[in-house]
Chain A
Amino acid sequence: MDLFQYDFMLRALVGALVIGLAAPALGIYLVQRRLALIGDGIGHVALTGVGAGLLLNRSPVLVAVIAATLGAIVIELVRSRGRTSGDLALALLFYGGIAGGVMLVGLSDAGSASLNSYLFGSLTTTSPADLTTILVLGAAILVLMLALRPALFAVCHDEEYARVSGLPVRALNLLLAVTTAVTVTIAMRAVGVLLISALMVVPVATAQQVTRGFRSTMAAAMVLGLFAAGAGVWVAATADTAPGASVVLLAIASFLVVALAAAAWRALRRRTTPATVPAYEPHEVVLR
């Protein structure tokens, strides 16, 4: 643990933990709405922002937040119009985003090392200012996702019902889109544009192997995200591996372990409780 005596390692750890907690709290809504890969797409758009920031000598993260937010709003508007061409529009946006990013970064004098750090994360170069940004935005995301859980759950679960309930569906959808963009850009430091979706989605996928309800899934996913981020940084520090990749691989490893354990447990339970009443048979009430 000696490595954590260094300030930069400590910053890396704290940053990763905040992102590990916030990303699944948002990701659960994206998974629920079957938009699991949206974070990936918005990450591509954010890359253009990074390129523009580097080229204009502005803060790449700040410009990326702006670009990703605009991209997220466009994606949400395309989605809510609900046309078949939406698929293609998204593809154009995604690949335009990443190609634009690569080209702009290339035009700036930052070079390919800089591009790599945004593509795959560069946690150990987190500056104190970066950490403050991650802490403030991460806390904001967490508060919003937890405080608005009933409303966001309703919108993601059944959008038409939410509309008939008089919920501000469009505002909530835009909030979710913008929050996704912000999460992507702060997580860019930790795991990189290409691996962001993993932290939003994999802990949720792991949690729902064993949970029964939405709230418990959310709590378990956040714990898993926290664990993957903490353990990932520790592995990266001790084994000198890439932090972003270590975090994501740990998250995927926990998914495999939990999925196998859950399958084994179900098989075991099926064997120990023989066919008296099949467990899946719906229970019916008898009236009168």
Chain B
Amino acid sequence: MNAPVIQVDHAAVGYDGRPVLRDVSLTVTAGEVVAVLGANGSGKSTLIRAVLGLVPLVSGSVTLFGTPQRRFRQWRRIGYVPQRLGAGSGVPATVGEVVASGRLARRGVLRPAGRADREAVAAALRAVGLADRADDPVATLSGGQQQRTLIARALAGEPELLVLDEPTAGVDAASQEAFAEALRGFLAGGGTVLLVAHELGPLRSLISRAIVVHEGGICHDGAVPEPAGHHAEPDHEHVHPHCDEEPAGLWSI
């Protein structure tokens, strides 16, 4: 039996008193690839932000690698990939510089970058297929390539757990494939993944378990649900909630 990497017990989260998640419990064990699915506004991004401590819990608890999140300090074990690069600053930064910040969790604030750091950055860039873009300004990259830069930044820290927020949203097909490839490499090294997704795309075959968040609660936890009916059509966009409206044969197994 693998040890739990993430354990969420009866977590509730609210913004300004408005509940977003209520009574959510979930466990991710080492080696799993868990996809958090759900409609826009269902609270799936909030769930992983709460796991990482970016939004405070109203009640309940989060445990990371067996340590209560409040006392958790081994952040080098976690690689976080946000939905997109922040609003973007006025100052240019190269792809290499952004990816290099992924090493900070490992080497600390004061120690200058050494050879191991540079090698890890180069390896992470290779893993996402951006090795030849290291010296280019991030702002000149396509959306998909910027997303891959963020994945490389997380991989550069050589984490055990990757937490990704919509890594494939609005990303071109080539970048989605490159991303799936990078994820495959990470999993081969024994990593654990928790990702939020709207569309699984080429990632589908990698997912070992799916969690569906609906109206602030978890309404499905198990195999990846098969799209059915008009959901299976290639141009279908998941923009509406799935759970209560259409229970038969959709997300239920």
Hey, which bits of chain A sit against chain B, CB under 8 A? Answer: 28, 31-34, 36, 147-148, 150-151, 153-154, 156-168, 172, 204-205, 208, 211-215, 217, 280, 282-288
Contact = CB atoms under 8 A, between A and B. Distances in A.
What's the interface size class on B, roughly? 35 or more
Interface string B84-102: 0111011111101110111
Contacts of B78: 164
11 contacts: A34-B87, A157-B86, A158-B86, A164-B75, A166-B74, A166-B75, A208-B90, A208-B92, A212-B136, A280-B140, A285-B129
B109 A151 contact: yes
B53 interface: yes
B73 A166 contact: yes
A287 B129 contact: yes
A192 B192 CA distance: 55
B181 A31 contact: no
Interface of B: 52-54, 73-76, 78, 80, 82, 85-87, 89-94, 96-98, 100-102, 104-105, 109-110, 112-113, 129-130, 132-133, 135-137, 140-142, 144-145, 153, 157, 163, 172, 174-175, 177-178, 181
Given A150-B101, A161-B82, A284-B174, A213 B89 contact: no
A158 B89 CA distance: 9
B89 A33 contact: yes
B91 A31 contact: yes
Contacts of A31: 89-91
Q: Which of A150, A167, A168 has the most CB of B within 10 A?
A: A150
Nearest to A159: B86
Contacts of A282: 141-142, 144-145
Contacts of A150: 100-101, 104, 109, 112-113
